[in-house]
Amino acid sequence: MAKVENAYRVSKMSWKKDFKHNWGVYVMFLPIFLFMVVLHYIPMFGIVMAFQDFNINLGYFKSPFVGLNNFVELFSGADFPRAIGNTIILAVLKCTIGFVMPIIFALLLSLLRSKKYKRTIQTCSYMPNFVAAVIVCFLVQQFVKQDGPITLLLHNLLGVDNMNLLADPNPPTFWIIYLVMGIWQGIGWGSIMYVAAISTVSGDLHEAAAIDGASRMQRIFKITLPCIKPTVMMMFVLGIGTSFAGGYDNILLLYMPTTYPVADTIYTYTYRNAFGAGVSPDYALSAASGLFQSIVGTILLMGSNYLSKKASGSSLF
Amino acid sequence: MALFKDRKKDVDRVSTMIEHPGFGDRVVDVVVILLCLLVAFCSVIPMWHVLMSSFSDGRLLMGTEGLIVWPVGGFNLDGYVHLFKNSSIIDGYTNTLFYTVTQVALGFLIAAMGGYAISRQTRLKTPMILFLTATMLFGGGMVPVYMVINALGWVETPLALIIPGCTNGMFCVMMMNAFNAVPGEMYEAARIDGAGHFRTMWRVMLPQAMNLGSVIILNSVVGAWNAWLPASIYVPQSRHLWPLQLVINQIINENKDFLNTGNPDYSKYLIQFAATIAASAPLIILFPFFQDKLEKGVLGGGVKG
């Protein structure tokens, strides 16, 4: 029994004894430790370059510090504030319309009476999740190009000009395309959480309400939705927290210089300044905009988590 | 009493029996079915359009507007012939296969060991968990990461595509939860019998934790197969290292110019559609087989860390 540890003995164990018994555990932690130090923690210190006039030949230690100049440069130009504006708009669309669509779909599925139909429809709806970003963007280009199926549909129904909609630099077009693309990719896959939550709602509640004469619509709003509220809140927190940071890489495949005014986001701005083709890389500026995005993302995640804890008692951390 | 027997299995059947659905309910039913079918239709039709386009005749297809629901001008495979004459697509397949296998194997090994380490009762348990959760909350951004990888000399080598994305803090925490759920007796029995920590993890604990483990593996496979951004950042110059998705993107982009050549071969118009199908087919054909497991993964990912 000498080797067996348990919770209450560990707290009393001396460090020496702990290492003697658990060195194997620590050795197994070593790979992920090195991985995280090299690829997450060292880059965190690498953000000093956001405050430097960074030169890749001089490195972190020799590049001169310039204080907040990079940020001043970012915010005094026209491009970065524009990118912030677009990021906010796309994030808000994603967290509102994009967020409720999977919930509505899950509710619709729960109203289907036949389990076989339900399964088939679910399988179909998952498919877009497995289509690669490159392909999704190609599909979008194909469907909204001049004479593309969606362009023609909108042209005939709403009188929209028959043109390549992706090349339209006027405000709502690109945002709508991006939102619809996100919904198309995520509606089935995003509904899994809610379908599972709905299936755990007790049948007794539904039965009692039905006996008392509640219609199915009433039961959805009075029983199902309140019951899945914790799940919804949790996903909402996660959605807000990640809305600012991730998921904008697709735009790199969809935008073009003429649509930068509506399509450029912080993420694409960061990418373009560091790795864009045909541009001399400005790593410091790019790091500064990346840092700005990271900070806002972290604040959003912590903030929405805190609010959700206050409001409903459910939280992510 | 059959009513109560079925209750747990199918909520809606119970309520139907009680309600004796009237006209209003039937209307709701029809609307619900139509909306669900619409979602399913919209999910499938874009790939169908591309599949049918890829089997069409190039010249006729160019002149056809709107949705392609059946091959235009008869069934032919010219697009695929052109596509596979291009040796870069074969390279793309082998590269993607190689990256996917190595990345997933390495990443899973690291995540399993890390998850095991933070699931054991040691004095450093809490600091280790905090160390991993911090990485989920804040990151340095893509440029500082690029600088580190550049300093390591990994740029323009396969290492930059395999190692940086292979695992993350979330996977470790998921594995920790999986190991926590394994009965303590199994662990103690193995330890008493003299198995070392690695052998205990690999032979005794991991088989019990493979439900969640296989989910992590499947998710990593999907992610690795579909990735294109890391390659465009880390190996933009080395075309022979490009994964399939980047090759496809390149083929689609280069293909846009073929009309400008003197005597255009219209069947080249089909290449982009064939490429799209070639890149997506493996996952789309395979995913229904793993659907249940993957669904569980979405649910497992929401476990409190």
Instruction: Count other Cβ atoms within 10 Å, centred on residue B66.
Output: 14
Q: Which residue of B has its CA nearest to A35?
A: B164
| Residue A2, domain member (yes or no) | no
The pLDDT of residue B304 is: 38
- Determine, yes or no, domain membership for B172: yes
Do residues A300 and A246 touch, judged by C-beta distance below 8 A?
no
* Residues 6 or more apart in contact with residue A80 via CB below 8 angstroms: A74, A266, A269, A289
Sequence-distant (≥ 6) Cβ neighbours of residue B178 within 8 angstroms: B115, B209, B211, B212, B213
Residues of chain B neighbouring A249 (CB-CB closer than 8 A)? 229
d(CA A295, CA A303): 12
Q: Label residue A65 exposed, middle or buried (CB < 10 Å: 0-12, 13-18, 19+).
A: exposed
Same-domain check for residues B111 and B241: yes
* pLDDT band at residue B5 under the 50/70/90 scheme: very low
Whether B73 and B107 share a structural domain: no
In a 13 Å sphere around the CA of A141, the CA atoms on its Cβ side amount to 20
CA dist A273 and B233 (Å) reads 12
Which residues in chain B are contacts of A283 at CB distance < 8 A? 143, 147
Q: What is the CATH number of the domain that holds B156?
A: 1.10.3720.10
Contact yes or no for A129/B223 (Cβ under 8 A): no
pLDDT at A32: 94
Q: Please report, as a single letter, which amino acid is at residue A251.
A: I
Q: Does the structure show a pLDDT above 50 at B169?
A: yes
Name residues 11-50 of chain A within 8 A of B (Cβ).
11, 13, 15, 18, 22, 24-29, 31-33, 35-36, 38-47, 49
Residues A91, A25, single domain; the answer is: no
B145: nearest CA in chain A?
A: A43
Local structure of A279: helix, strand or coil: coil
The tokens for A230 are 């914790």
* The pLDDT value given to residue A76: 86
Whether residue B200 sits in one domain with residue B76: no
pLDDT > 90: percent of chain B: 19
Domain that includes residue B261, residue range: 2-84+256-278
Single-letter amino acid code for the residue at A61: F
Terminal CA-CA length for chain A: 36
pLDDT of residue B159: 92
Check residue B101 and give its pLDDT.
Answer: 95
Give dist(CA A191, CA B124) in Å, integer: 38
Give the three-class secondary structure for B157.
coil
SS3 content of chain B, % helix, strand, coil (to 5): 75, 0, 25
Q: Which two tokens stand for residue A149?
A: 């199926």
Q: Is the pLDDT of residue B63 over 80?
A: no
Between chains, do A188 and B272 touch, taking CB under 8 Å as contact? no
**Residue B136, domain member (yes or no):** yes
Contact A32 B117 (CB under 8 A): yes
Quote the longest CA-to-CA distance of chain B: 79
B61 and B117 assigned to the same domain: no
Nearest to A301 by CA among A242, A233, A248: A242
Dihedral pair phi/psi, residue A96, rounded to 5°:
-105, -80
- Judgement on whether residues B44 and B189 belong to the same structural domain of the protein: no
Interface test with A, best of B37, B143, B186 (most A CBs within 10 A): B143
Task: Write out chain A's pLDDT in tens, 317 residues.
Answer: 334 445 445 556 788 888 887 888 899 999 999 999 999 898 888 788 888 888 777 777 777 788 788 888 888 888 888 888 899 999 999 999 999 999 999 999 988 888 888 889 998 998 998 888 889 998 898 888 888 888 888 888 887 888 888 888 888 889 999 999 999 998 988 898 898 888 888 888 888 888 888 888 888 888 889 888 888 888 888 788 778 877 788 888 888 888 888 888 888 888 888 887 766 778 888 888 888 888 888 888 888 888 877 776 666 66
Chain A residues in contact with B146 by the CB 8 A cut-off are 274-275
User: Max alpha carbon distance in chain A (Å)?
Assistant: 80
> Per the structure, how many domains does chain B have?
2
CA distance B3 to chain A (A): 11
At residue B249, the 3 state secondary structure works out as helix
* Residues B28 and B100 placed together within one structural domain of the fold: no
Hey, are the CB atoms on B50 and A139 less than 8 Å from each other? yes
Asked if the structure places residue B182 within a domain, the reply is yes
Cβ separation of B65 and A271 shorter than 8 Å? Answer: no
Span B285-305, average pLDDT: 69
pLDDT at position B34, please?
A: 93
Number of domains, chain A: 2
Does A35 share its domain with A177?
no
Q: How far, in Å, are A75, B144, B188 from residue A68 at the CA level? A: 11, 17, 56
Same domain, A65 and A99: no
What own/partner pairs with CB < 8 Å and gap ≥ 24 does B191-199 have? Answer: B191/A3, B191/A4, B192/A1, B192/A3, B192/A4, B196/A24, B197/A22, B197/A24, B197/A25, B197/A27, B197/A28, B197/B116, B197/B120, B198/A24, B198/A27, B198/A28, B198/B113
Q: Which of A59-63, B234-238, B254-258 shows the highest mean pLDDT? A: B234-238
Classify residue B64 as left (phi > 0), alpha (psi -120 to 50) or beta. Answer: beta
> Is A124–B40 a contact, with Cβ atoms under 8 angstroms apart?
yes
Interface contacts (A, B; CB < 8 Å): 300
Q: Which of residues 55-114 of A touch B (CB under 8 A)?
A: 56, 60, 105, 108-113
Residue of B216 and A59 predicted with greater confidence: B216
**Model pLDDT, residue A4:** 46
Q: State the smallest CA–CA distance between residue A32 and chain B in angstroms.
A: 6
Helices (H), A56-170: 59-62, 69-76, 79-95, 97-111, 115-126, 133-144, 149-158
Note the pLDDT of residue A259.
Answer: 83
Both A33 and A50 in one domain: the answer is yes
pLDDT value at position B305?
32
Residue A272 and residue A128 share a domain: yes
A142 in the same domain as A85: yes
Asked whether residue A1 is domain-assigned, the answer is no
CA distance A171 to chain B (A): 25
pLDDT tens-digit readout, B68-108: 888 887 788 888 888 888 778 888 899 999 999 999 999 99
pLDDT of residue A89: 92
Token duo for residue A81: 């504030």
Among A40, A69, A98, which residue terminates a domain? A69
- Structural element, H or E, at residue A315: none
In A, residues 132-151, which contact B (CB 8 Å cutoff)? 132-135, 138-139, 142-143, 147-149
Strand spans (E) along A196-297? none
Query: Are B75 and B111 in the same domain?
Result: no
Choosing from B205, B229, B248, the residue where a domain stops is: B248
Per-residue pLDDT, B263: 67
B148 → closest Cβ in A39, A112, A187: A39
Locate tokens 């390591």: which residue? B152
Q: What phi and psi values does residue B147 have, to the nearest 5 degrees? A: -60, -45
The boundaries of the domain holding residue A148 are 78-312
Residue A254 counted as domain residue: yes
Count of other CB atoms within 10 angstroms of residue B253:
12
The pLDDT assigned to A317 comes to 64
In a domain, B109, yes or no: yes
Does B302 fall in a domain? no
Check whether residue A50 and residue A179 sit in a common domain.
no
Identify whether residues B44 and B102 lie together within a single domain.
no
Would residue B300 count as lying in a domain? Answer: no
Residues A137 and A154 in one domain: yes
pLDDT at position B15 over 50: no
Tell me how far apart the alpha carbons of residues B138 and A16 are, in angstroms, rounded to a whole number.
33
Name which of B44, B65, B272 is nearest A147 (Cβ-Cβ): B65
pTM for the model stands at 0.84
pLDDT for residue A100? 94
Is residue B293 assigned to a domain?
no
Q: Which of B138, B142, B198 sits opposite A44 (nearest CB)?
A: B138
- Contact between A174 and A262 under an 8 Å Cβ cutoff? The reply is yes
Cβ atoms of B269 and B62 within 8 Å: the answer is yes
**Residues sharing a CB contact under 8 Å with residue A287, sequence separation 6 or more, in sequence order:** A46, A47, A49, A50, A54, A70, A274, B141, B143, B144
